[in-house]
Amino acid sequence: MPVPASPTPPDDADLVRAYQGGSEAAATELVRRHGAPVARFLVGLGADYADIDDLVQETFFRAFRRIAGWRGDAGFRSWIFTIASNLLKDEHRRRKARRSVPLEDHDLPSRDNPESAFALRETERRLVAALQTLPRLQREVFLLRAQQGIEYPEIATTLGTTAGAARVHFHHAVKRLKEMIA
C-alpha cells in the first residue's frame, strides 16, 4: 500500500500572498519562520542583545508595510535581512549623531551596554568585533554565506552585486578575519 505523500507546506510566497489577501495568521507565521534567523543576523552585524527584540519587531514592521516591494526575485528571508541591515545602520547613525561623532563606513556597534557583549562567548565576541572592521558589503556577504548558509546567486540578488563578486567578497572576508582572529 503506497504511503500518501505528506502535504507540501506553504512557502513564503504563499504566505505573503495570504497576508495580502487579509490573513493576519499568515503574517504571524512569517514572523515565526524568520524571526530567529533575523535576530542572529542582527547580532552578527553588531546589534546589542538588549535591543534585539525591538530591532526584530521593527524589521518585520517595516517589511509588512512595504510587502508589495518583495517581488520574489530574492528569497523572503534575504529580503528581510536587507531591511534589518538598513535598520541597524540607521540606528547606529542616529546614535552617533546624538554623540556628535563623524560618520564612518565601518559602523561600529554601540558600546552603551557593555554587559551585552558578555552574552556572546569570547570567540564569538571577537568575531563580531572583527566583522565590524570590514566594509559593509564584505561583512554582509560573510554573514549571509557563513552564518545563514545562503548561496551566492541569492546573495548577489539581495545585495545588488554578482554571484562572482559575492564569492570574491566572501573569500576576502575569510582571509581578513582569519588574520585578525588567529
Task: Tell me which residues touch another protein (CB under 8 A).
Answer: 6-11, 14-15, 17-18, 20-29, 31-32, 35-36, 39-44, 49, 52-53, 56-57, 60-61, 64-65, 119-121, 123-124, 127-128, 142-143, 145-147, 149, 171, 174, 177-178, 181-182
Task: Give the nearer residue to another protein in terms of CB position, either 74 or 131.
Answer: 131
Task: Give the nearer residue to another protein in terms of CB position, either 87 or 177.
Answer: 177
146 to each of 89, 94, 143, 170, 173, how far by Cα in Å? 21, 29, 5, 9, 10
Identify the CA nearest to 144 among candidates 163, 125, 122, 126: 163
Q: How many C-beta atoms surround the C-beta of residue 3 within 10 A?
A: 5
Task: Give the nearer residue to another protein in terms of CB position, either 63 or 74.
Answer: 63
Shortest distance (Å) from residue 170 CB to another protein: 8
Shortest distance (Å) from residue 26 CB to another protein: 6
Shortest distance (Å) from residue 14 CB to another protein: 5
Give CB contacts under 8 A, 24+ apart, made by 158-162: 158/74, 158/75, 158/78, 158/79, 158/81, 158/82, 159/82, 161/137
